[in-house]
Structure 1
Amino acid sequence: MERSRRKEIKRHLTEEEIDELLREAEDDHHLRRLGFLKNLYQGDSIPEAADREGRSATTGGRWADAWNEDGLEGLMPSFGGGRPPKLDEDEQEELIEMLRDGQPWKSQEIQHLLQEEFGVSYSPNYLGTFLRELGLSYAKPRPKRPHRPENPDEILEERVDDALDEDDQPHNKREQEDEERWMVDDDICTDGGTVLGFFDASKPQPYDNSRRVWYVDDPHIEPELVKTHDSAVGFYALNGESLVTFTEDEKKERICGVLEQVREQNPGKRILLVLDKHGAHRCKYTRKRAHQLGIDLIFIPSGSPHLNPIEQVWDYLKWTMAPIVVENEDEFKNLVQETFEKITQRISFAKKWCEKFLDFQKLS
Structure 2
Amino acid sequence: MSGERRKEITYHLSEEEIDELLREAEDDRRKGRFGFLKNLYYGDSIAEAADREGRSAATGRRWADAWNEGGLEGLMPSFGGGRPPKLDEDEQEELLEMLRDGQPWKSQEIQHLLKDEFGVEYHPDYLGKFLRDLGLSYAKPRPKRPHRPENPEEILDERVADALDEDDGPHNREEGDDEEGWTVDDDVCTDGGTVLGFFDASQPQPYDNSRRVWYVDDPHVERPLVKTEESAVGFYALNGESTVRWKETEEKERICEVLEAVREQNPGKRILLVLDKHGSHVCEYTRKRAHQLGIDLIFLPSGSPHLNPIEQVWKYLKWTMAPIIVEDEDEFHELVKDVFDQVTQRISFAKDWCQKFLNLQKFP
Q: Which band: TM-score by shorter chain?
A: 0.5 to 0.7
Deviation (angstroms), 1:361: 1.9
Change (3 A) 1:219 1:162: same
8 Å contact kept, 2:312–2:349:
yes
Aligned to 1:229: 229
Change (3 A) 1:310 1:139: closer
- Whether the 8 Å CA contact 2:224–2:326 is kept in 1: the answer is no
User: What displacement does 1:137 show?
Assistant: 2.5
Confirm or deny: 8 A CA contact 2:195 2:238 kept in the other structure: yes
Q: What amino acid does structure 2 have at the position aligned with 1:355? A: Q
Alpha-carbon shift at residue 140 of structure 1 (Å): 3.4
Alpha-carbon separation, structure 2, partners of 1:133 and 1:191: 53
Aligned to 1:151: 151
**Structure 2 unaligned regions, length at least 5:** 1-86
TM-score, structure 2 as length reference: 0.68
Q: Distance in 1 between matches of 2:256 and 2:170?
A: 17
In the alignment, is residue 123 of structure 1 matched against residue 119 of structure 2?
yes
Q: Which residues of structure 1 form unaligned runs of 5+?
A: 1-83, 115-119
The AA in structure 1 aligned to 2:121 is: N
- Name the counterpart of 1:241: 241
Map of 1:1-364 to 2, 5 A cutoff? 85=88, 87=90, 92=93, 103-104=103-104, 121-123=117-119, 125=121, 131-364=131-364
Instruction: State the alpha-carbon separation in 2 of the partners of residues 133 and 258 from structure 1.
Output: 48
Distance 1:109 1:280, change over 3 A: same
CA distance in 2, matches of 1:263, 1:133: 50
Preserved CA contact (<8 Å) 1:184 1:291:
yes
Q: String of CA shifts for 1:101-123, please: whole Å, max 9, x gaps.
A: 88545689999x99xxxxx9433
Q: CA deviation at 1:279?
A: 0.6
| Coordinate RMSD, CA, aligned | 3.0
Give the structure 2 partner of residue 27 of structure 1: none
TM-score by length of 1: 0.68
Q: Which has the larger radius of gyration?
A: 1
2:287 corresponds to which letter in structure 1? R
Which stretch of structure 1 is more off in the superposition, 144-153 or 243-252?
Answer: 144-153
Q: Which amino acid aligns with 2:282?
A: R
CA contact (8 A) 1:225 1:325 kept: no
TM-superposed CA distance for 1:132, in Å, is 4.0
2:177 and 2:102 mapped to 1: Cα distance? 48
Equivalent position SS for 1:273: strand
SS in 2 for 1:245: strand
Report the 3-state secondary structure (helix = DSSP H, G, I; strand = E; otherwise coil) of the residue aligned with 2:201. strand
The count of aligned residue pairs is: 274
